[in-house]
């Protein structure tokens, strides 16, 4: 089996108006890293220059993320710069310099113009098959109000309806304690409190919103939100009950041997793109995966691989 191409992850800016309880920026007091409009433009230009340079490996994968990158712009200059950057990425996809393009957005904004501009360009150039589009939704901890929840879900519906059969949306959900509890007890995720016995939480959400769901380990910032290893495993087993093969695909994806290079624009004294990838633990997985339990003694990926092996043996 050929090794996957490397993926370059670019954090354009940390700025985000949402207030997720499990957000690194909020909990670590990192609002001082939020960029001004001029700094955002510099960040965009630095990423563009890097992808155009010899330091970038031709044909790699690229991930663009924030903060929130599509959530409205306070100046016409920044909006134009960002649209030009999107055009640049699409042109690099057309010539094969970028193989797969990953884009993440929380959909928590009123104006979808920038996002629609991008998706229409992807559609026009027949590139949906090489776009990895993700958004984020959580049963608890993400939304400041039910209005915010409704806004996100409404936008999700708009996208999957308007680009039906073309745009594949993956919705990331963080495996906090409330999320695991909802999955284990078959709670409808989009309508908290209602039980969905026939479909289960994840499968029900996927059917309701015509998307796929990826469950993400919670890197602990607030211990009250942390699920136990046993709760996480039970949630994955419950999901696999409704979606056969989910658990296997899940561990295979996390165990994928792929080089990942994370870059972030640092303003202030540096004013440049900085390499920020974390080192790996002795097991070969990122050290961040050791932070999913309070004692930090084991790796999430290794624990889930072991749990899946035991689960599959039980069901032979």
In the chain, % of residues over pLDDT 90: 67
Instruction: Tokens 């990953």: give the residue.
Output: 102
pLDDT on residue 24: 61
Question: CATH: 3.30.420, 3.20.20, 3.40.50, 3.30.450. Which one for 7-314?
Answer: 3.20.20
Q: Is residue 195 very low, low, confident or very high in pLDDT (cuts 50, 70, 90)?
A: confident
How sure is the predictor about 74, in pLDDT bands with cuts at 50, 70 and 90?
A: confident
Helix axes 177-184, 201-209, angle to 10 degrees: 90
Least confident span in 30-39, 144-153, 159-168:
30-39
| Band (3; pLDDT cuts 50, 70, 90) | confident
Sign of CA dihedral 220, 222, 223, 227: negative
Higher pLDDT, 71 or 174: 174
Give residue 28's pLDDT.
45
* pLDDT at residue 147 tops 80: yes
| 7-11 sheet: strands from edge to edge | 212-216, 169-174, 131-136, 98-104, 60-65, 7-11, 260-266, 272-275
With a CB cutoff of 8 Å and minimum separation 6, the contacts of 269 are none
| Per-residue model confidence (pLDDT) at position 27 | 43
Note the pLDDT tens digit of each residue in 206-257: 999 999 999 999 988 888 899 999 999 999 999 999 999 999 999 999 988 8
Q: What percent of the chain has pLDDT over 70?
A: 96
pLDDT score of 114 more than 70: yes
CA distance 39 to 35: 5
pLDDT greater at residue 60 or residue 145: 60
Residue 110 has pLDDT above 90, yes or no: no
Top-confidence range, 19-23, 71-75, 92-96, 145-149: 92-96
* Mean pLDDT rounded to a whole number for the chain: 90
Q: Is the pLDDT of residue 55 over 80?
A: yes
- What's the whole-number mean pLDDT along residues 45-52? 96
Per-domain residue ranges of the chain: 7-314
pLDDT above 70: residue 32: no
Angstrom distance (rounded) from CA 35 to CA 150: 28
Structure-model confidence comparison of residues 246 and 31, the more confident one = 246
**Crossing angle of the two packed helices 229-242 and 300-314, in degrees rounded to 10:** 50
Cβ(299)–Cβ(306) under 8 Å? Answer: no
Q: What is the DSSP secondary structure assignment for residue 17, as one 8-state letter?
A: S
Express each pLDDT in 279-298 by its tens digit: 888 998 988 899 898 877 89
3-state secondary structure 239-299: HHHHCCCHHHHHHHHHCCCCCEEEEEEECCCCCEEEECCCCECCCCCEHHHHHCCCCCCCC
Q: Is the pLDDT of residue 19 over 80?
A: no
- Per mean pLDDT, which range of 10-19, 60-69, 152-161, 244-253 is the poorest? 10-19
> Which residues make beta-bridge pairs with 11?
65, 264
Concatenate the DSSP letters of all residues of 83-139 into one string: HHHHHHHHHHHHTTSEEEEEEE----SS--HHHHHHHHHHHHTT-GGGEEEEEE--S
Spell out a b/e string for 42-70, using b for 16 or more CB atoms within 10 Å of the CB, else e: bbbebbbeebeeeebeeebbbbbbbbbbb
Burial of 308 by CB count in 10 Å (0-12 exposed, 13-18 middle, 19+ buried)? buried
Residue with the bigger pLDDT between 134 and 72: it is: 134
């Amino acid at each position: 089996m050929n090794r996957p191409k490397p993926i370059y992850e670019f954090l354009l800016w940390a700025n985000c108006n949402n207030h997720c309880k499990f957000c690194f920026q909020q909990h670590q007091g990192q609002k001082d890293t939020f960029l001004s409009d001029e700094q955002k433009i510099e960040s965009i230009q630095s990423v563009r220059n890097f992808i155009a340079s010899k330091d970038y490996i031709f044909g790699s994968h690229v991930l663009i993320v924030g903060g929130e990158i599509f959530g409205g712009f306070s100046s016409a200059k920044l909006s134009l710069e960002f649209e030009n950057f999107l055009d640049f990425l699409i042109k690099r996809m057309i010539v094969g310099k970028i193989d797969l393009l990953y884009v993440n957005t929380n959909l928590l904004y009123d104006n979808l113009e920038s996002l629609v501009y991008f998706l229409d360009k992807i559609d026009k150039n027949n590139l949906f098959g090489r776009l990895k589009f993700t958004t984020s939704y959580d049963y608890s901890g993400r939304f400041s109000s039910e209005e915010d929840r409704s806004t996100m879900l409404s936008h999700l519906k708009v996208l999957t309806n308007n680009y039906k059969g073309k745009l594949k949306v993956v919705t990331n959900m963080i495996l906090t304690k409330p999320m695991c509890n909802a999955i284990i007890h078959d709670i409808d995720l989009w309508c908290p409190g209602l039980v969905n016995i026939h479909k289960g939480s994840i499968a029900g959400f996927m059917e309701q919103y015509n998307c796929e769901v990826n469950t993400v380990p919670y890197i602990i910032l607030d211990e009250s939100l942390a699920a136990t290893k046993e709760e996480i495993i039970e949630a994955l087993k419950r999901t696999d009950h409704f979606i056969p093969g989910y658990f296997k695909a899940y561990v295979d994806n996390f165990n994928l041997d792929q080089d990942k290079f994370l870059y972030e624009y640092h303003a202030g004294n540096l004013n440049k793109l900085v390499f920020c990838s974390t080192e790996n633990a002795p097991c070969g997985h990122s050290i961040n995966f050791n932070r999913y339990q309070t004692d930090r003694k084991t790796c999430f990926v290794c624990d889930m691989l072991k749990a899946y092996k035991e689960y599959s043996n039980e069901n032979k």
